[in-house]
A and B are shown apart, each in its own frame.
Chain A
Amino acid sequence: MSKSLSDIQTELLGTFFEESLEGLQQLESGLLALEESKGENADTINDVFRAAHSIKGGAGSFGLSEVGTLGHAMESMLEDFRSRRTVPTREMLAALLEGVDWLRNALDARMAGRSLPIDGIHAFCEQLETLRGAAPKPEPAKEHPVTAQALALSIDFLPVPRMLESGNEPMRLLRELSRLGTARTTTDVSKLPPLAEIDPSLCYFSWHIELEGSDVSKKAVEDVFCWVDTDAEIRIEPLVARSDEPEVVLPPVVGPAVVPALNPLHEAKATFATAGEARADNAIGSIRVGVDKIDLLMNMVGELVITQSMLGVIDDESRLDSRRIEQLREGLGLLARNTRSLQESVMRLRSVPISVVFSRFPRLVHDLGQQLGKQVELKVNGQTTEIDKTVVEKLGDPLVHLVRNSLDHGLETPELRRAAGKSEIGVIEISAYHHGGDVVVEVRDDGRGINRERVIERARQLGILGQNEAPPEDAIRDFIFAPGFSTATAVTDVSGRGVGMDVVRRNIRALGGDVFVETTVGKGTCISMRLPLTLAIIDGQLIRVGSHAYVVPLLSIIESVQVEPKRVSKFQGTHELYRLRDKLIPMIELGQVLGMQSWQRSEESLMMIVEADNAPIGLLVDELLAQQQVVVKSLETNYDRVVGLSGATILGDGSVAFILDTTAIGRLVRGTPSGAHAA
């Protein structure tokens, strides 16, 4: 035995936390689905029940009694649904959702090495019980006081012949009995048939046992036989009538309201928390990693081993001539590259899908919508977008803030929406996608938009803008991120008191990103957060311009066409537009934008239509090369920021190729400042 059993429990606690948090997610989405379907879906009820059940079962085994209590109360109600004793009502589902919050808080507390006070949990569980229509039940009876008195019992054990088929073996049960005390066993073999007729799968014996010892009790004996009580006749009687039989202490009958205060167990539970601190680390420190990422890592290690053996050959040769030195240099170069790749792969292990953050929004939007009396549809896009774990963890709060803002200030009430000729149901869309070396996370609503005049008015009130000073063109983006800024006419308890947007921006900037705002009065607002992801691996299209290779992110490419001169028209003498089907697309000579003086447009130019700020632009390129995954390297960290380039990558032959930032190129050509953000 290398580890103690409690060590094992501690080690697995982290896994349990992870599982439970996943289970909670399931529980929550299941409950929301039930609410939608008016509780009609048996599969969902089963899933939800199972989730609650697992949490409860695990909690008990890991000594998290308050979590178990919550789980049990919720499971009981769900069992009513499952067995069709009760049809789920709105109140019940709302209470269960509240239970999810309780569970989450209880688990969070445990992860932080604390535990929630049991009183609140008991009160909540009683609420659930009341909703179930059952009167609050008194605390379960405590174990009877253990008596040190030796007790003697007479036991008759008469198995049915087929008992062995259930896997129960009488000899083992008798052995267990003898652990309780001194056993005198008599075996009755009278039913044993002649040898030729014996069927080895049947049991022909029965036993009489006299058992005496300090651990002997009727309950202990019943426990031994509990699995065979239907496969055997069992009679347990006191062996000697004793006058000093221990008196049975009945549990005190107390009303449920006073029980929590009286029960000393609750104090014990509260103090148990300190032992949990080491465990909390386990939970925070672990991460689930996809097998593909580990495979990639294994590949890298494979490469490393090959390089090492290559260098090893050189080592065996005693003479170092120029050829060997060249080989050595090459090997070392390879080693350096392998090491870097390996480092990047390991860093990639840290990335997790953004769904970790997104998954909490269906519930949030549902609850807030109800609270505010607004009808909302939530759309979530790009859940699988991967982002560093640290970034994900810090993204949660700003995102919650933005979504709350959208719901509270952005979306109008159903009446106002109807009056404005919009659908009564507002839409909030949360999206995540890769954009060059960045990950963009957006919160978009189709609400009232931000009113520029009111922003300016408010800025003057706050003294950010002088009374006679002319407002800047980008007043909105300049002011709404100012500390203390809020145009909300009334402070609601949903979104805060104007401490919001500046905090959002500060948090995002702390991660090396930035926040942008786009808004149209009457149409809606889109707040996007750009987060750098220097280690992102993107799918890229390699192109040739002049003698250089560049990478265009595959996601931003719409299509590529051969340029037909008759479709080109001049605009203002210099700008060229290309007519593609019904659209006019601005043509951009990449060679010029990239500053290649000697570049000449060839006769057979190709035009690649790419997305730039939701509008297509056409990039003239000389040749389309391969498509491949490229590792995005930051230019900022290695050189300096270059407008129009989002990063660089190293190609298979070791040469460097720049990654084009199509959005920035579009802005460059249109004349909009490329850094158009709320700075």
Chain B
Amino acid sequence: MAKIMTVDDSVSLRRLVASALKSAGHDVLEADSGQSALSVAQTTSFDLIISDLNMPGMDGLTLVGQLRKLPAYRSTPILILTTEMDPTKKQAAKAAGATGWLVKPFDPTQLLATIRKVLD
């Protein structure tokens, strides 16, 4: 069981991710914006953070950059959730410090399989 934070301004997608993770027994916290995710991360540690890329206010890339500045998050897996198939987007995410990406649309089973790459 891992402790995971999902960040997305869309309730339905955030819940979909969260519910899929919970069904696999993970402990999940939901954040509805980059800002709130960042402030939670200052006081709580997570084994994995999954964030949307396009969000109003602080977007996913900025969030990753900010998280990487926190000593506790130097090597925490952070996945970016995006529909962009654009390779430059993925490289931008990597450059910002993301561990990898999850491409929407996903089905929950696929999601669980993919995050195994970054969870014990």
| CA distance in complex: A2, B78 (Å) | 27
Q: How far is the CB of A23 from chain B (nearest CB, A)?
A: 8
Q: How far is the CB of A272 from chain B (nearest CB, A)?
A: 14
Judging by beta carbons under 8 Å apart, are A5 and B91 in contact?
Answer: no
Which residues of the partner chain A approach B105 to less than 8 Å between Cβ atoms?
A: 57, 59-62, 68
Judging by beta carbons under 8 Å apart, are A227 and B99 in contact?
Answer: yes
| CA distance in complex: A5, B82 (Å) | 21
A562 at the B interface (CB under 8 A) = no
Judging by beta carbons under 8 Å apart, are A12 and B100 in contact?
Answer: no
Judging by beta carbons under 8 Å apart, are B116 and A172 in contact?
Answer: yes
Q: Which of B20, B55, B118 interacts with A168 by CB under 8 Å?
A: B118
| CA distance in complex: A173, B117 (Å) | 6
Judging by beta carbons under 8 Å apart, are A167 and B99 in contact?
Answer: yes
| CA distance in complex: A166, B117 (Å) | 13
Which residues of the partner chain A approach B12 to less than 8 Å between Cβ atoms?
A: 12-13, 15-16, 19, 58, 62
Judging by beta carbons under 8 Å apart, are A8 and B20 in contact?
Answer: yes
Judging by beta carbons under 8 Å apart, are B104 and A61 in contact?
Answer: yes
A-B contact pairs, 6 of them (CB 8 A): A5-B23, A5-B108, A54-B10, A60-B104, A172-B119, A230-B94
Which residues of the partner chain B approach A164 to less than 8 Å between Cβ atoms?
A: 75
A residues engaging B (CB < 8 A)?
1-5, 8-9, 11-13, 15-16, 19, 47, 49-50, 53-54, 56-63, 68, 75, 164-169, 172-173, 175-176, 201, 224, 226-227, 230
Which residues of the partner chain A approach B98 to less than 8 Å between Cβ atoms?
A: 166-167
Residue of B nearest to A1 (CB): B23
Judging by beta carbons under 8 Å apart, are A5 and B109 in contact?
Answer: yes
Which residues of the partner chain A approach B11 to less than 8 Å between Cβ atoms?
A: 15, 19
Judging by beta carbons under 8 Å apart, are A61 and B91 in contact?
Answer: no
Judging by beta carbons under 8 Å apart, are A60 and B83 in contact?
Answer: yes
Q: Which of B74, B101, B107 interacts with A227 by CB under 8 Å?
A: B101
| CA distance in complex: A175, B98 (Å) | 21
Residue of B nearest to A75 (CB): B83
Q: Chain A binding site: helix, strand, loop or mixed by DSSP?
A: helix
B1-24 near A? 1/0 per residue, CB < 8 Å: 000000001111101100110011
Please give 12 more A-B residue pairs, beta carbons under 8 A apart, in addition to A5-B23, A12-B12, A60-B105: A5-B107, A8-B16, A8-B19, A8-B23, A19-B10, A53-B54, A60-B83, A166-B75, A166-B94, A166-B99, A168-B99, A227-B100
| CA distance in complex: A2, B19 (Å) | 11
Judging by beta carbons under 8 Å apart, are B78 and A167 in contact?
Answer: yes
Judging by beta carbons under 8 Å apart, are B101 and A166 in contact?
Answer: no
B97 at the A interface (CB under 8 A) = yes
Judging by beta carbons under 8 Å apart, are A57 and B83 in contact?
Answer: yes
Q: How far is the CB of A45 from chain B (nearest CB, A)?
A: 13
Q: How far is the CB of B3 from chain A (nearest CB, A)?
A: 15
| CA distance in complex: A60, B110 (Å) | 13
Which residues of the partner chain B approach A47 to less than 8 Å between Cβ atoms?
A: 56
Which residues of the partner chain B approach A1 to less than 8 Å between Cβ atoms?
A: 23-25
Which residues of the partner chain A approach B34 to less than 8 Å between Cβ atoms?
A: none
Which residues of the partner chain A approach B10 to less than 8 Å between Cβ atoms?
A: 19, 54, 57-58
Which residues of the partner chain A approach B62 to less than 8 Å between Cβ atoms?
A: none
Q: How far is the CB of B96 from chain A (nearest CB, A)?
A: 10
Q: Which of A68, A172, A230 interacts with B118 by CB under 8 Å?
A: A172
Query: Contacts A8-B23, A53-B54 hold; do A167 and B101 have CB atoms under 8 A apart?
Result: no
Which residues of the partner chain A approach B120 to less than 8 Å between Cβ atoms?
A: 172
Which residues of the partner chain B approach A50 to less than 8 Å between Cβ atoms?
A: 54-56
Which residues of the partner chain B approach A54 to less than 8 Å between Cβ atoms?
A: 9-10, 13, 54
Most buried by A among B55, B116, B118: B118
Judging by beta carbons under 8 Å apart, are A9 and B108 in contact?
Answer: yes
Q: Which of A3, A5, A57, A172 interacts with B117 by CB under 8 Å?
A: A172
Which residues of the partner chain B approach A173 to less than 8 Å between Cβ atoms?
A: 117
| CA distance in complex: A12, B19 (Å) | 9
Q: How far is the CB of A286 from chain B (nearest CB, A)?
A: 12
Most buried by A among B12, B19, B55, B118: B12
Which residues of the partner chain A approach B23 to less than 8 Å between Cβ atoms?
A: 1-5, 8
Which residues of the partner chain B approach A224 to less than 8 Å between Cβ atoms?
A: 117
Judging by beta carbons under 8 Å apart, are B106 and A61 in contact?
Answer: yes
Which residues of the partner chain A approach B101 to less than 8 Å between Cβ atoms?
A: 227
| CA distance in complex: A4, B54 (Å) | 29
Residue of B nearest to A171 (CB): B120
Judging by beta carbons under 8 Å apart, are B75 and A165 in contact?
Answer: yes
| CA distance in complex: A9, B55 (Å) | 22
B21-40 near A? 1/0 per residue, CB < 8 Å: 00111000000000000000
B66 at the A interface (CB under 8 A) = no
Which residues of the partner chain B approach A226 to less than 8 Å between Cβ atoms?
A: 100
Query: Contacts A68-B105, A166-B98, A167-B99 hold; do A57 and B77 have CB atoms under 8 A apart?
Result: no
| CA distance in complex: A172, B54 (Å) | 28
| CA distance in complex: A646, B20 (Å) | 53
Which residues of the partner chain B approach A49 to less than 8 Å between Cβ atoms?
A: 54
Which residues of the partner chain B approach A175 to less than 8 Å between Cβ atoms?
A: 116
Which residues of the partner chain A approach B24 to less than 8 Å between Cβ atoms?
A: 1
Q: How far is the CB of B68 from chain A (nearest CB, A)?
A: 8
Judging by beta carbons under 8 Å apart, are A227 and B97 in contact?
Answer: no
| CA distance in complex: A165, B106 (Å) | 26
Judging by beta carbons under 8 Å apart, are B19 and A176 in contact?
Answer: no
Which residues of the partner chain A approach B82 to less than 8 Å between Cβ atoms?
A: 57
Interface pairs A-B: 5 shortest CB-CB: A60-B105, A227-B100, A167-B99, A16-B12, A167-B77
| CA distance in complex: A19, B11 (Å) | 8
Which residues of the partner chain A approach B75 to less than 8 Å between Cβ atoms?
A: 164-167, 201
Query: Contacts A8-B23, A165-B75, A167-B75 hold; do A61 and B13 have CB atoms under 8 A apart?
Result: yes
Q: How far is the CB of A419 from chain B (nearest CB, A)?
A: 48
Most buried by B among A15, A75, A224: A15
Most buried by A among B23, B54, B91, B117: B117
Most buried by B among A16, A56, A166, A230: A166
Q: How far is the CB of A321 from chain B (nearest CB, A)?
A: 58
| CA distance in complex: A98, B76 (Å) | 44
Q: Which of A3, A176, A230 interacts with B116 by CB under 8 Å?
A: A176
Query: Contacts A3-B23, A5-B23 hold; do A168 and B77 have CB atoms under 8 A apart?
Result: yes
Query: Contacts A57-B83, A58-B13, A167-B75 hold; do A8 and B56 have CB atoms under 8 A apart?
Result: no
Q: Which of B20, B74, B99, B119 interacts with A5 by CB under 8 Å?
A: B20
